[in-house]
Each structure stands twice: as C-alpha cells, then as structure tokens.
Amino acid sequence: MEQLVGTGVALVTPFKEDFSIDTIALAKIVNYCVDGGVDYLVVLGTTGESVVLSKKEKQLVIDTIVDANAGRLPLVLGVGSNNTAAVVEELQDTDLKDFVAILSVSPYYNRPTQEGIYQHFKAISLASPKPIILYNVPGRTGSNMLPETVLRLANDFNNIVGIKEACGDMVQIMRTIKDKPANFMVISGDDFTALSTVLAGGSGVISVLGQGLPSEFSQMIRFGLAGQVKEAFALHYAIQDGMDLIFKEGNPAGIKALLEAVGLGTAVVRLPLVEATATLKKTIKSFLNTLLKTVV
C-alpha cells in the first residue's frame, strides 16, 4: 500500500482541564501534521488513550479527525483487544468507509502462544473488510510476536499487509524484512528505530514524536527512503533527545507536554496516567528552543 509508505503519526486525544475531549485542539493537531508533511494519520491507537475513551467519545474523535482531515491524508483506525471476539464484533459494527486500513495490536495481558497470536489474527483477517496492519509491542502486551508468526500471517492472508514493529530489536526487525513477501510493509513502531528500519528496507514509521515535530520527522524518513543517509542521520540526531524525553514519563504524557509547549492543547491525560511533571515540561521546552536554533 503505497499510501502508507513514509511517516504516519499516532494521534493523541487532547483533553481540556475538565478531562473532556478538546475537539478544537484535535483539529489543530491534524492540520499541523498535514501542513508538516506527514503521510498518513493513525486514529485511536494507544497514544490516543483509546482504552479510557467511551464508545461515544471514540466516535467523537473519529468524526473530528475525519472532518479536519477533509480527505487530505489516508487514515488508519486502531481496532484491537485481547478479546478476539470483541475485535471481530467491532469490525462488523464500525463504519470504516473513511479508513484505508486498520491497525490491530497483538493480544495483551493474556500472553498467548505464537499459535494463539496466529489464530487471533486469522479471525480478524476473515472478518475485516479493510487491510490489516499488525502491531507488535511486547513492552505493552507481555508477549512478542516472532518473525515466523508475522511471516506466516503475511503469507497466508492477503489482507494482512504490514506490521507496526515496536519490539525495539533491530535483529528481529531485519529478520522479518529479509524474508517478508515483496508487498508486505515493515513499519517502525518506535521513534528510535524508525530511521534504522527504513534504511534496512522497511516502509516507514508510525510515530509519536512525529505529530509534535512533523516537518523534521517526516523529512528524516523521506531522506532515509531516498538513501540520503547523511542528511537523514543529521535530522535523527537533531531530534533524538526529543524521542527520549517524550517517553521519559510514559506515553502520551510526554508528547502531550510537547504539544502543549507548541500551543496545541493541554498536557492533560486521564488516569491511570498522570500529567508530565514540571521538570519534564521545562526540559522539553529547552529541547524545542535548542532545536529551533539547529534545524533550518
């Protein structure tokens, strides 16, 4: 899917001080990303705090992003659970007309075997009217979807078109890239491994920092895809501290602090997450000020 090559961003759900959804800020973030040159938007992923949103609130987020985007960029919808039947039901009940694909996380907490992971995604594949991007994030799920399982799914189901790989292990990532079908996308799910994944033959990234620094991040990935390694790494090192800072106190607390610093909503998150500390906010502002002086 050529439209999902490059930089996607996992959008936050901005909240007002009373914890209600700030649709005005969300629309501004969408426009900021579009204007900054990102290639597609991911809606209701982990970064969007989807697990603490009601069904009504999720629909509000979808409607706000669809309206603000106005067809400019491809949209991907997060649809995942550790209950396979619930994912199948959600796929059947959700209007997916505005989305080019779904992003579905490997089952969390249950810690299934590799066969269990395969059967979970087989059921989703058979139920989904849209292409599927697998999502492997062992740090959150408690289990690692191994390359052999990813490749088995990629070869067995035509509508499983890629994986967002957030294992943080470049050896594992490269094993998948080496043996994947030609049209299967390996997409970095970690900002730190984004450039390395692209240079190893991956298709791009679904980024967190990318919505706060859309111009810099998307240009870095474009350089990487074009084989302009020196230019790509220059940008990587310029924004590397930002990658570290936004995860220092958890996601999305850090990226919301950065977005607050650039005037895009508040840093408010919902429990059980807590807002970034004053110290981290100050450090993020210092990083942004330094970046403005180093990146033209």
Mention every residue, 6+ apart, whose C-beta is less than 8 A from residue 29. 11, 12, 14, 211, 259, 264, 265
Residue 88 three-state SS:
helix
Place of tokens 């429990």: 271
H, E, C per residue of 25-73:
HHHHHHHHHHHHCCCEEEECCHHHCHHHCCHHHHHHHHHHHHHHHCCCC
Query: Of 40, 118, 135, 281, which one is the catalytic site residue?
Result: 135
CA angle (151, 152, 158) in 5-degree steps = 90
Interatomic CA distance for residues 288 and 41, integer angstroms: 23
Query: Of 58, 130, 164, 281, which one is the catalytic site residue?
Result: 164
285 in catalytic set: no
Q: Which two tokens stand for residue 244?
A: 């570290």
By annotation, the residues acting in catalysis are 135, 164
